[in-house]
Structure 1
Amino acid sequence: MRLTRTLQAAACAAALLLTAACGSSGSGGGSSAGLNPPDLKAPTKLGRTEGQVNLIAWAGYVENGSNDPKADWVSGFEKQTGCQVHSKVAASSDEMVKLMKTGEYDAVSASGDASLRLIASGDAAPVNTELVPNYKDVFAGLKNGAWNSVKGQMYGIPHGRGANLLMYDTEKVSPAPTSWSAVFDDASKHKGHVTAYDSPIYIADAALYLKATKPELKIKNPYALDQKQFDAAVALLKKQNADIGEYWSDYLKEVSAFKSGDSVVGTTWQVIANLAAGEGAKVKAFVPKEGSTGWSDTWMVSAKAEHPNCAYKWLDWIVSPKVNAQVAEYFGEAPANSRACAETSDKNFCTTYHAADEGYWKHIAFWNTPIEQCLDGRKDVTCVPYAKWVQAWTEIKG
């Protein structure tokens, strides 16, 4: 199941993108057409495997049975390819970016708030999807995203996706909420029992709400905020802070808080909602009428990879139907491969996680990296870069 995924960002890491030229992109899809990364070439063919591959991954993505005997998709890969897997679990996107810069790793399972940084800095190489046979079965909504491609060139292979949902205690929150107003404008109704995700990227959640409720701000993309728009989102979150009981990054703590009643409404993931309900909490989770933010992880190959052939073998393996199904169920997210749904042990899994419901994902604004060159295509203003988001998050929390 999904483990803690903290996204506290370092200002110096975000600064990598400050000089990158970036143009139009959608909040939930569309290539980052204006980004001009270094001129790197994807391989045209694969050679002999090198005998090992060094990976950086979120906890739960590279399992060899040592954490859970039932979770092992590494052994089969090693046997089939001869590539011995060495992996390092990263606790944050910033750690992933830092580790990729060392040149010691071949591939990384980057989230959207890291992938553009890796592309712009030249640490991630473009990927030849023709060399990854299982890519053809990846859901269309995950291809050529604003967070994993530039001008139609993919910089990785999509792994899975998930939405940041609104969860509430059905016995203590009435009437049932339909909007993010439950944690923003109406948060005082549950003062001290509101919870929010502990990360600078959560500023995008406030921006998404303001996009719908304050049209005069003209927010098009929650990751492309000029100073006025950014200030409005920060002000909303500072106001919200007075009603927050706990900011969370550890999913077990959120489960515990909803079970005890310390939290009654706030941001969550589907896997957390499932766990909380399974342990007796009276909760429901959903995408509010304004839509939601979310994540889409992408396996990216290092531009300095010492074992690129094994890395490509891993990319194909991890999105093969059976393996992608195993990872998705263990981790708690929708699989990337459309054929994986037929391989899940829980036959309702893909329905629960909306894996094949592209209409559902159109309402999800996947995490992206805010940079000065506005991701919504505006040329007449400067947008607030992620380094400033990090600074503001510290101020918001007090």
Structure 2
Amino acid sequence: MQTKRLGVAFAALSLLALSACGGGDGSSTASGQGFKVPNIPAQKALGAGEGEVNIVNWAGYAEDGSNDKSVDWVHPFEKQTGCKVNSKVAGTSDEMVALMKTGEYDAVSASGDASLRLIAGGQVAPVNTALVPNYADVFAGLKNKPWNSIKGVAYGIPHGRGANLLMWRSDKVATAPDSWSAVFDQGSAYKGHVTAYDSPIYIADAALYLMSAKPDLGIKDPYALDQKQFDAAVALLKQQKANVGEYWSDYTKEVQAFKSGDSVIGTTWQVIANLVAAEKTKVGTVLPKEGATGWSDTWMVAAKAEHPNCAYKWLDWIVSPKVNAQVAEWFGEAPANSKACAETSDKSFCTTFHAADEAYFSKVHFWTTPIAQCLDGRTDAKCVDYAQWTRAWTEIKG
């Protein structure tokens, strides 16, 4: 892969729980995700562009050449469609939700924890995929997922995806690990040099490990934890804390930590591993045998978009093969469009990021927001919501 410096670190997850919409006027029947869905129709036809589009996005998703002159897919879009792009970079999912609530934006690149809140809150509308021709070429493994659809109705266009991997310094860790036990049960062997992702959602990583390490807990979904399961995950993380040298959310800091040897084993993204290796540091990565957590972003359209036609044009543009390839390489993630792989400058890029490997991604539990109604389908138990995950994370870190 080209080791061009990324435009951004992937921002931290939201600190607030999903606010469930109650019943009342405008709400449909229960969605299965634990809330009622506002009755908002999808756009039926595509009209002329309104001349501009206001978007909320992660940094690196709407590059206009200002960070790198060779990285620009905004100006070509403006020239082709006549829709001027007004981009607002958000640093967190909380900020994205807050900005969308203002009604000033037409589209947003939401992560799984924000997307459900936006749907439940009525800030976004279902997407008419027939108005987005390039949607046809999106990998099937990204369509109609719990974080971007409700009962088979699409609420956005998939942008890309990635897994949270286990990375280690191969010159300091004698035996290549194949399990998350290396950072949980065996972390003391690297005391002070274990690293972990700095977010309440990291509790899901512990829960995922416990799914196989302690099957008697009955965990089926790392984001659907009853109190007993949640307490077990928190206890594991408090145990791990004694061995953690640094919690990271800024990818540049993790690169430097592995380069210096301050960190020798822990959670990472493939792009970070590539950058560390480019620094002539010996590292290995693996998707552990237990699987992993990960992310998948979705472009969504505001329910009351002032510029809906330009918004739809942007959705189709950003997921088009050439542009989706540009974004994926710049940010460091698997593209959503299956035809994007033929457009990447590094012809091994999609292999490195497992873009077409559905067997690989079947082992990835994509981030979503824990809510009181258990996401694993249980009706006889109450699950711990994200507000409690946030409080517990503060306790874990001390």
How high is the TM-score relative to the length of structure 1? 0.95
Q: Are positions 1:16 and 2:31 aligned together?
A: no
Match of 2:117 in 1: 117
Question: Quick one: distance in 2 between partners of 1:46 and 1:22?
Answer: 25
Aligned to 1:131: 131
Q: Contact 1:294–1:365 (CA<8 Å) still a contact in 2?
A: yes
Q: Distance in 2 between matches of 1:288 and 1:113?
A: 23
Q: Deviations over 1:69-92 (max 9, x none)?
A: 011000110011100000011111
Name the SS for the 2:245 alignment partner: strand
Question: Tell me, what secondary structure is at the counterpart of 1:208?
Answer: helix
Is the 8 Å Cα contact of residues 23 and 376 (structure 1) preserved in structure 2?
Answer: no
Provide the residue aligned with 1:371 in structure 2: 371
Specify whether residues 249 and 34 from structure 1 end up closer, same or farther in structure 2 by C-alpha distance, changes over 3 A only.
Answer: closer
Separation in structure 1 between the aligned mates of residue 292 and residue 336 of structure 2, nearest angstrom: 19
Amino acid at match of 1:378: R
Cα distance in 2 for residues equivalent to 1:123 and 1:171: 50
- Contact kept, 8 Å, 1:23 with 1:377, in 2: the verdict is no
Q: 1:22 to 1:368 in 2, by over 3 A?
A: farther
Task: Give the equivalent residue in structure 2 for 1:255.
Answer: 255
Q: What residue in structure 2 maps to residue 27 of structure 1?
A: none
- Identity value in percent: 71
Partners of 2:232 and 2:244 lie apart in 1 by 18
> Which residue pairs with 1:170 in the alignment?
170
Q: What residue number does 2:185 align with?
A: 185
Alpha-carbon distance in 2 for matches of 1:153, 1:2: 33
Note if 1:312 corresponds to 2:315: no
User: What amino acid does structure 2 have at the position aligned with 1:77?
Assistant: F
DSSP-derived class of the 1:161 partner: strand
Once residues 147 and 278 of structure 1 are traced to their aligned partners in structure 2, the CA distance between those partners, rounded to angstroms, is: 34
Name the CA shift for 1:282/1:18 in 2 (closer, same or farther; >3 Å).
Answer: farther
Alpha-carbon distance in 2 for matches of 1:342, 1:8: 31
| Structure 1 residue identity aligned to 2:151 | K
CA distance in structure 1 between the aligned counterparts of 2:244 and 2:22, rounded to whole angstroms: 36
Mapping of residues 30-179 of structure 1, within 5 Å: 35-179=35-179
In structure 2, distance between residues paired with 1:308 and 1:22: 23
Give the one of 8, 12, 27 matched to 1:3.
8
CA distance in 1, matches of 2:35, 2:129: 20
Structure 1 pair 201–18 and aligned structure 2 pair: CA distance change class (3 A): farther
Aligned partner letter, 2:19:
L
CA distance in 2, matches of 1:92, 1:123: 17
> In 2, Cα distance between the equivalents of 1:393 and 1:313?
40
Aligned-residue offset at 1:3: 1.9
SS of residue paired to 1:17? coil
Question: How far apart are the structure 2 equivalents of 1:338 and 1:182?
Answer: 34
Which one-letter code corresponds to 1:275 in the other structure?
L
Cα distance in 2, alignment partners of residues 316 and 353 from structure 1: 23
Contact 1:22 1:374 in 2 (8 A): no
Amino acid corresponding to residue 7 of structure 1 in structure 2: A
Aligned length: 390
Structural mapping, 1:309-388, within 5 Å: 309-388=309-388
Rounded to whole Å, the distance in 2 between the matches of 1:291 and 1:386 is 22
Quick one: distance in 2 between partners of 1:22 and 1:352? 42
* Shift in CA distance, 297/97, structure 1 to aligned 2, threshold 3 Å: same
Aligned-pair distance for 1:181? 0.5
Q: Give the distance between the partners of 1:205 and 1:365, measured in 2 at CA.
A: 9
Quote the Cα distance in structure 1 between the aligned partners of 2:55 and 2:192.
Answer: 41
Residue 214 (str. 1) matches residue 214 (str. 2): yes
**SS in structure 1 at match of 2:64:** coil
Separation of aligned partners in 2, 1:58 and 1:88: 8
Conserved? CA contact 1:54–1:105, under 8 Å:
yes
Partners of 1:8 and 1:108 lie apart in 2 by 15
Whether contact under 8 Å (2:21, 2:37) holds in the other structure is no
Normalization by structure 2: what TM-score? 0.95
User: Are the aligned partners of 2:20 and 2:36 in contact in 1 as well (CA < 8 Å)?
Assistant: no
Q: CA deviation at 1:351?
A: 0.4
1:103 is matched by which residue type in structure 2?
G
Cα deviation for residue 361 of structure 1 reads 0.5
1:18 Cα deviation from its structure 2 partner = 7.7
Deviations, residues 331-373 of structure 1 (Å, cap 9, x unaligned): 1000000000000000000000000111110000000111111
Are the equivalent residues in 1 in contact too, given 2:227–2:383 (CA < 8 A)? Answer: yes
CA contact (8 A) 2:22 2:35 kept: no
The letter for the 2-side match of 1:154 is: A
Distance 1:361 1:15 in 2: 25
Q: Deviations over 1:147-201 (max 9, x none)?
A: 1110000100000000000000001112111100011111111000000000111
Distance 1:68 1:81, change over 3 A: same
